[in-house]
A = this chain, B = another copy of it.
Amino acid sequence: MNERFYGNLMHEGGEKKPPRPTLGEIGINQFAPYLINRIAARYNANMAEALKALDVTTTEMRVLAILSLSYSTTINELAVYTVTQQSTMSRTLDELEEQGLIQRIARPDDRRVRDVSITEKGRQAFEKIWPILYEQFRHLFDGVQEDEYRTFVNTLHRILRNIRKHDI
């Protein structure tokens, strides 16, 4: 890594350095957002491919994963956690409800809000999905040791705090 450009990147070092390095100076392979997008795209493509064997979409998998961890969730929260557009989310929930994997129940005190929860059948479906998810995860971090993983996740948390909205 080129120390000098890296120094520029984070606005450190002497006062004679320019205020904003160019992308060429930073280098595309040191530009983390580029690497994150490359990884996310590849990981999601691999995942969609692997999930085909179970006839499950990535969004369905994400919904079942999140719901398997919580008693119930609102549709808004689900959309954020699963990084899915509201319209796609509605269709996915229709689909999952029809298959008996989730249920939506209107709140007694506010009928406009519907809480989504997983059914026993949904839990069983996720138990079949999880080994695929875990295998993709293991492949992603092949050769990464525990300490490195922990440090990596801490930085991810920092980044997510920096950019998330509405505190969820």
Taken together as a complex, chains A and B put the C-alpha atoms of A33 and B131 apart, in Å, by 15
Taken together as a complex, chains A and B put the C-alpha atoms of A158 and B151 apart, in Å, by 14
Taken together as a complex, chains A and B put the C-alpha atoms of A54 and B153 apart, in Å, by 34
- Is the pair B153, A39 in contact by a Cβ cutoff of 8 Å? no
User: Would you list which residues of chain A between 37 and 75 have a CB under 8 Å from chain B?
Assistant: 37-44, 46, 65-66, 68-69
User: Would you list which residues of chain A between 118 and 164 have a CB under 8 Å from chain B?
Assistant: 130-131, 133-134, 136-137, 139-146, 148-153, 155-160, 162-164
- Is the pair A23, B68 in contact by a Cβ cutoff of 8 Å? yes
Q: Is A30 an interface residue (CB 8 A)?
A: yes
User: Would you list which residues of chain A between 56 and 102 have a CB under 8 Å from chain B?
Assistant: 65-66, 68-69, 80-81, 83
Q: Considering only CB atoms and an 8 Å cut-off, how many residues of chain A contact the other chain?
A: 64
- Is the pair B6, A141 in contact by a Cβ cutoff of 8 Å? no
- Is the pair A38, B160 in contact by a Cβ cutoff of 8 Å? yes
- Is the pair A140, B33 in contact by a Cβ cutoff of 8 Å? yes
- Is the pair A151, B151 in contact by a Cβ cutoff of 8 Å? yes
Q: Give every chain B residue within 8 A of A69 (Cβ-Cβ).
A: 23-24, 28
- Is the pair B146, A23 in contact by a Cβ cutoff of 8 Å? no
- Is the pair A159, B137 in contact by a Cβ cutoff of 8 Å? no
Q: Give every chain B residue within 8 A of A30 (Cβ-Cβ).
A: 153
Q: Give every chain B residue within 8 A of A148 (Cβ-Cβ).
A: 151, 155
21 cross-chain CB contacts under 8 A: A10-B145, A20-B134, A22-B130, A23-B65, A23-B133, A28-B65, A28-B66, A28-B81, A29-B157, A32-B152, A33-B43, A33-B136, A35-B157, A37-B83, A39-B159, A39-B160, A140-B163, A141-B159, A143-B158, A143-B162, A148-B151
